[in-house]
Structure 1
Amino acid sequence: MKKDATPAEIADRMLDPRIVDASEELVHRTGMSDDDVAHTVEVMRALRRWHQASERMSEASNRYMRLNSTDMRALRFLIAAHNQGAVVTPGQLSEHLAISTAATTKMLDRLEAGHHVLRAPHPTDRRSLAITVTEHTRRDARETVGRQHARRFDVAAALVPEERDVVIRFLDGLSATEVLEDAEDGLGAG
């Protein structure tokens, strides 16, 4: 390996098991040709590029809206509920975000102070509140996150059904690795 490699070259190579796991302790490549390994590494590189682009888009939306990622997740959930005609309570929001009720209350205080959400009496449960997004915030989110989602949808829609099935199987398989790792080594124990 070159001693004068750039950070980008080093990061690119760290996805290649022929370099980072030459003895195949973790990544078993038996039966794979060098071309198959290289092609698989290209898939991993493309996945990394998507992940980096997704992070940049998310950070740009957060900066535009001047909110943190949990606030943005809350707003996206509230907008989706609004679009479905569903009423959202603080408890439901807390459950969706997997945060405590105290953290939810603080977040709602902050979002209400920033004119992003409204609290109102729940239409059918006097003990609860209904949380909604203000029209201004809904429009701003639509212009940022909504347009990004539309562009992503267009990319998926351009695939033929068989290609979509492959992508779904691939991404579901990647998602399942988290569960398998957590169950195998206890990393997910909290």
Structure 2
Amino acid sequence: MDAHGHAKGYWYGKDPGQKELAVGVLNALRDYRVSEQAMRKRTRSSMLMGEKDLLALRYLFEAEADGRVMKPKDLGDRLGITSASMTTLIDRLVDSGHIRREPHPTDRRALILRPTPASDQEVRHTLGAMHRRMLDIAASLSAGEAQVVMGFLQQMSAALDTVDDEPEAGGSPHS
């Protein structure tokens, strides 16, 4: 065990040639994911929202910032949920005052979804200080360091997005 309570090598294997620093990087990445999941849980709890609700708000804020409109079907597709579940989610967010339904600007038959100003203020109040701390840390990196971190994270995303047909020999099926 190391100072953070990690088993040496975790599930990355017991290969004696495995780089200790590489395992340390992966353990730090795992610690970050655990911290991020805990933050998301605290946010959902403080805003009295489920994970899909918070994700829906995020997508609506992004669409609004980009000048795009979001129809319920578009949001349902983004969230990967059925139209029945989408209706329930929209009703819940409308009832809680987080979003509103509005007529589509060019299609009289369609509705669009928009986050309310109060919702924007609530999210900023709940997450603002944490986002500032994260931005300050990222801004403290030199241009070269930032490029290395971005490249690393992009490569890690690609590694996770790759679907393997069969697990590697001797590898653990757990992740």
Whether these two folds match at TM > 0.5 is yes
* TM-superposition CA deviations, 1:117-149 (whole Å, max 9, x none): 111111111121111112211100111234323
- Equivalent in the alignment of 2:172: none
Q: 1:95 aligns with which of 54, 77, 80?
A: 77
Task: Find out whether 1:144 has 2:126 as its counterpart.
Answer: yes
Task: Find out whether 1:134 has 2:116 as its counterpart.
Answer: yes
**Paired residues for 1:175-190 under 5 Å:** 175-180=157-162, 182-185=163-166
- Equivalent in the alignment of 2:7: 13
Conserved 8 A contact 1:88-1:132: yes
Which ranges of structure 1 fall in alignment gaps of 5 or more residues? Answer: none
Conserved 8 A contact 1:119-1:130: yes
* TM-superposition CA deviations, 1:133-175 (whole Å, max 9, x none): 1221110011123432332222111111111111111111111
Give distance in 2, aligned partners of 1:68 and 1:110.
10
Conserved 8 A contact 1:15-1:44: no
**Between Structure 1 and Structure 2, which shows a larger proportion of helix residues?**
1
> What TM-score, normalized to structure 1?
0.77
* Counterpart AA for 1:84: D
Give distance in 1, aligned partners of 2:8 and 2:53.
33
Sequence identity percentage: 31
Conserved 8 A contact 1:112-1:118: yes
Highest relative contact order (Cα 8 Å, sep 6+), 1 or 2? 2
**Structure 2 residue matching 1:132: 3-state secondary structure:** strand
Runs of 4+ in 1 over 3 A off after TM superposition: 14-17
